[in-house]
Chains A and B, each alone.
Chain A
Amino acid sequence: MLLKVENLTKRFGGLVAVSDISFAIEKGEIIGIFGPNGSGKTTLLSLLAGLLPPTAGRVFWKGRDIAGERPNVIASLGVIKTFQNPQLFSELSVFEHVMIASFLAFTRMKDHSRLRSFLSPAKGETTLRLRAEKALTLCRLQDTATKPAAELSYGEEKMLGVAMAMMCEPELLLLDEPASGLGNDEIQNLENVLRDLRAHGTTLCIIDHKVAFLAKFADQAIALQQGCKIAAGHPYDVLADPGVVKAYLGRSHHA
């Protein structure tokens, strides 16, 4: 069991954004979380990544309770989150972005090479630079490497977020609506990147309201409505669930 969530709850004043949710993720799995806007998807991911402290409940990562840990601690354990609205260091170049994101990989290097990379980054960080170029190529950003990130298109910004997450060597990657705002061509590219990540053994947790996009990938799906888990299981079963259909269409489905 890679990740186990037990009775996770988040309240904002009187609003219960995430209510008593439990589920588990196995290694190598792709889990899709969907639900209408405001159903608590993003809040749930933020709780897992440590961006928000939970009101109640526990999150076990490989048996260790990580609920309420700081985000950098959770990230260093191998859980990385991307953002729905791209978060960037705008004035830096695309390449500098992926190099900043290589910090965790850097910390896993041996100490003597740390000193060397302080005196001469060009020599000490050769492997990281090569990996950064590979990540950019995979995300089709190789031609923008020297551009400031502020000059990227929305789709490129989102792919840069994925490239940065890849540089962190995540074991579990939490993707917050990775396909929203992307064109068909870009979605195709995103799917290729996600397949590549999966082939390398990365566990993925994707939230999206484009149900078709999720159903194609996921091994397991969870449907949320108003912060509650209303269905879970195989993606197509979940999609056929009467409760889910009602949540999406606002009435029961007779077809």
Chain B
Amino acid sequence: MKTLLCLVPLYLLPLLVKSDVVLTILIFTFVLSILAVGFNIVFGGAGQLTMFHAAAFGIGSYVTFLSMLRFGISFWLGFLVAVAIVILISIVIGWICFKFRLKEFYFAVVTLAFAELCRLVALNWTSVTNGTLGMLVLEKPTVWLPGSGVVKIEQTGPWYFLTLVSLTGVLIFAVLLMRSWIGRNFSAIRLNEDLAQTLGIDTFRYKLLAFTISNVIAALAGALYGFYTGYIEPAYLAVTQSLDAIAMVLLGGVSTILGPVVGALVLTSLPHLIELPAEMRVAVYGMILILVILLMPRGIVGLFAGLLKGRVNAA
């Protein structure tokens, strides 16, 4: 839990930094961190290489917005509808995959196929989703604050705090989850599923739980992302979106709490730190990613944790 104190400076940052560019980069970092934290629960926790998180991300944004539009409800109620639908879809897909004992790449391929299926629905169900053109989101989330009542989240400042508070909430949940018996069972499944089963752990149920939790967290990221950018399109559900989150987790450190956040920060801010022609950019990031994974197999956070430990042992 103490590791989360690292987030405190972020709450004070807007007092010092007024630059909209910096705050905007951080907002994207926070939202994508939420997606990466979710992926880290099912992959870094329970060891299941899912490719469905981008689909859950997209479903989160589409369903939240569409239910606001259709039922005239608030952002948060719309998000609850999205959560319900994501839970339902996760249970169906998870049930199919885990009943048939799909593992590693087989699980990845099947979840990818389901994710593509969802993307094609978003693309082709034009009467509802507006197809490739996507949808403009003019509605804004509202929050109730003590003292000022119901506030619309419109400016960069409020968005900064909304996304940061959401990320903090998700991280606190992830810490509680991973240190509880549920997290212990996840690690047991990741490290030796057969042994976990002989110790009485219902591995089917816990894999399903990890998959569902990570998808719900991805849906939160998707809802925030769609409303912050003010635009929702089928590309949110694309495989590249899933791969981005995976790259963040690998870069920051698998199975660490802050790894996904660090990875998201690096991958979101890098394009703004190194100005390159668009074609060069992808190649250069690819190179950086390959080098980091080769040189720091446990990610940035893993590397620093190792250095700290080494220093303690040496002293």
Asked whether, in the complex, the Cβ of B194 is within 8 Å of the Cβ of A103, the reply is no
Contact B198 A88 (CB under 8 A): no
Which of A94-102, A151-159, A196-204, A230-238 contacts the other chain?
A: A94-102
> Is B109 located at the chain interface by the 8 A CB criterion?
no
List, in ascending order, chain B residues with CB within 8 A of A90's CB: 191
Q: Mark each residue of chain B from 32 to 75: 1 if its CB lies under 8 Å from any CB of chain A, else 0.
A: 00000000000000000000000000000000000000000000
Q: When chains A and B are docked, how far (Å) is the Cα of A75 from the Cα of B182?
A: 18
**Complex contact B191–A91 (CB within 8 A):** yes
Q: How far is the CA of A125 from the CA of B176 in the complex (A)?
A: 14
CB pair B192–A87 under 8 Å, yes or no, is yes
The answer to whether A70 touches B187, judged by C-beta atoms less than 8 angstroms apart, is: no
SS of B interface (majority): helix
Q: Does chain B have a CB within 8 A of A213?
A: no
Q: Is B281 close to A, CB under 8 A?
A: no
Smallest CB separation, A48 vs chain B (Å): 11
Asked if residues A118 and B180 are in contact (CB atoms below 8 Å), the reply is yes
Are A100 and B200 also in contact (CB < 8 A) when A88-B195, A119-B176 are?
Answer: no
Q: Is the CB of A75 within 8 A of B187?
A: no
Judged by a CB distance under 8 angstroms, whether A51 is at the interface is yes
- Shortest distance between the CB of A80 and any CB in chain B (Å): 7
* Residues B187 and A100 in contact, CB atoms below 8 Å apart: yes
B198→A103 contact, CB < 8 A: no
Contacts of A71 in B (CB 8 A): 194, 197-198
State whether A103 touches B199 (Cβ < 8 A).
yes
Query: When the two chains form their complex, are residues B197 and A75 in contact, meaning their CB atoms are under 8 A apart?
Result: yes
Q: Which residues of A contact B185 (CB under 8 A)?
A: 100, 103
Interface membership of B144, Cβ < 8 A:
no
Given contacts A96-B184, A100-B184, A106-B181, contact A75 B199 (CB under 8 A): yes
Q: Which residue of B lies closest to A90 (CB)?
A: B191
| Distance between B196 CB and nearest chain A CB, rounded to angstroms | 7
Does any Cβ of B come within 8 Å of A38's Cβ?
no
Contact partner of A100 (CB less than 8 A), chosen from B179, B180, B188, B203, is B188
How would residues 150 to 193 of chain A score, 1 for a CB under 8 Å from any chain B CB and 0 otherwise?
Answer: 00000000000000100010000000000000000000000000
Q: Is the interface of A mostly helix, strand, loop or mixed?
A: helix
User: In the complex, A125 Cα to B181 Cα: how many Å?
Assistant: 10
With A100-B185, A103-B181, A121-B179 known as contacts, the answer to whether A89 contacts B200 (CB < 8 A) is no
In the complex, what distance in Å separates the CA atom of A51 from the CA atom of B197?
A: 9
Residues on the B chain within 8 Å of A58, using CB: none
What is the CB-to-nearest-CB distance from A2 to chain B, in angstroms, rounded to a whole number?
18
Is residue B296 within 8 Å, beta carbon to beta carbon, of the partner chain?
no
Residues of B within 8 A of A80 (CB): 198-200
Q: Contact check: which of B177, B181, B191, B198 meets A75 at CB < 8 Å?
A: B198
Instruction: Verify A100–B199 contact, CB threshold 8 A.
Output: yes
The answer to whether A215 has its CB under 8 Å from any CB of chain B is: no
- With A51-B198, A75-B197 known as contacts, the answer to whether A117 contacts B191 (CB < 8 A) is no
Q: Which residues of B contact A70 (CB under 8 A)?
A: 197
The 8 Å CB contact of B200, one of A99, A103, A117, A121, is A103
Taking the complex as formed, is B202 at the interface, i.e. its CB lies under 8 A from any CB of chain A? yes
Known contacts being A121-B179, A168-B200, is A99 close to B194, with CB within 8 Å? Answer: no
- Give chain A's interface residues, CB within 8 Å of chain B: 49, 51, 70-72, 75-76, 80-81, 83, 87-92, 96, 99-101, 103-104, 106-107, 114, 117-119, 121, 125, 164, 168
Closest 6 CB pairs of A and B: A75-B200, A89-B191, A104-B200, A87-B195, A71-B197, A76-B200
Chain B residues within CB distance 8 Å of chain A: 176-177, 179-182, 184-185, 187-188, 191-192, 194-203
Q: Contacts A72-B202, A89-B188, A118-B182 given; 7 further ones with Cβ under 8 A?
A: A75-B199, A81-B198, A87-B198, A103-B181, A104-B199, A104-B200, A118-B176
